[in-house]
Amino acid sequence: MSEAKLAVITGASTGIGYEFARFAVEDGYELLICADEPAIEDAAEKLRRLGGTVQTMQVDLATAQGTDEFWAGVGDRHIDIFCANAGRALGTAFHEQDWDAIRGLIMLNMVQTTTLLHRVGLRMQAQTQGRILVTGSIGGFVPGPYDAVYNSTKAYLDSLCYALQDEWKGSPVTLTCLMPGPTDTPIFSRPENLLSDSPIAKNDSKDDVTVTARAGYEAMMAGHKGVVPGLVNKLIAMLAGVVPQSILAEIHRRGAKPE
């Protein structure tokens, strides 16, 4: 049993993280998955029906204690795959957001991701083997009026990933950054965020979650640096390099401002 390779995936109860978990089970990995909600058990049940060996943890990675608890659950095991996927959005205007919610978003999207990348990075360098997949976002290329802090946290993650890839150049550890566009997951409809009234939440042409996650998973397995799934998203990522920030901000406002 201990022969099986281990995949550790955060934020795996739904959405892109659940899809990563499904692909890893299909590839024969043993799983340790976590989320901050009881739905992680339902996800594990579905994955077990697919034949997976699945360990779950319900922890809040938006706190340092939750992150430590999760890391204690990983223990000193050899980690073959780590998907740093847990993240949330918030929505609405910056001044209307509650400070504790903003702080929680920064803690979840940035601080715990950085902490776990640091711990997993050290572990994998010692193992001289490992694959890491980080869920960034094309939101990181675009100033995000009406979800300002979210987009900024993703800019942080995108930048950090490219820097670490360069630092780890020539090492046996690979790091891949998945930068999805708007994808059809619960991120837009969670009760605690204020995005559900925005045009982007109501838009029915969002990317398919399986297609998005598959692009990221395959890029990780191939050791690619980054992947922006979908033609329109690729175009946005390219344009973001040449279009002034003020225009990018205006485009984002139209999608994210509550109606």
Partner 1 sequence: MTFAVITGASTGIGLELARCAATDGCEILICSDEAAIHDVAQTLRDQGAVVDALLVDLGTPEGVEALFDEIDGRHVDYFMANAGRGKGGAFLDQSEAEINEVIGVNVIGTTDVLHRTVRIMRKQGTGRILITGSIAGWMPGSYHAVYNATKAYVDLLSWAIRNEVTDTDITVTCLMPGPTDTEFFDRADMLDTPVGKADNKDDPQKVAEEGYAAMLDGRSGVTTGFMNKVQSLMSGLIPDSVLAAMHRKMAKPDGGPDHV
Alpha helices in the chain (DSSP H): 15-26, 39-49, 64-74, 99-106, 113-127, 148-167, 199-202, 209-222, 231-240, 245-256
Give the strands of the sheet with 81-84, arranged side by side. Answer: 54-58, 30-35, 6-10, 81-84, 130-135, 173-178, 226-227
Query: Least separation, in Å, of the C-beta of 57 and partner 1?
Result: 20
In angstroms, rounded to a whole number, what is the distance separating the alpha carbons of residues 82 and 185? Answer: 21
φ/ψ of residue 174, rounded to 5: -105, 150
Query: Least separation, in Å, of the C-beta of 52 and partner 1?
Result: 31
- Dig out the tokens for 10 from the structure: 């955060």
Which residues of the chain form contacts with partner 1 (CB under 8 A)?
93-95, 97, 99, 102-103, 106, 110-111, 114-115, 117-118, 121-122, 125, 140, 142-146, 148-149, 151-153, 155-171, 225-226, 240-242, 245-246, 248-250, 252-253
Nearest CB to partner 1, comparing residues 50 and 122: 122
Query: Least separation, in Å, of the C-beta of 237 and partner 1?
Result: 10
Nearest CB to partner 1, comparing residues 39 and 240: 240
Query: Least separation, in Å, of the C-beta of 177 and partner 1?
Result: 9
Nearest CB to partner 1, comparing residues 39 and 239: 239
Nearest CB to partner 1, comparing residues 159 and 189: 159
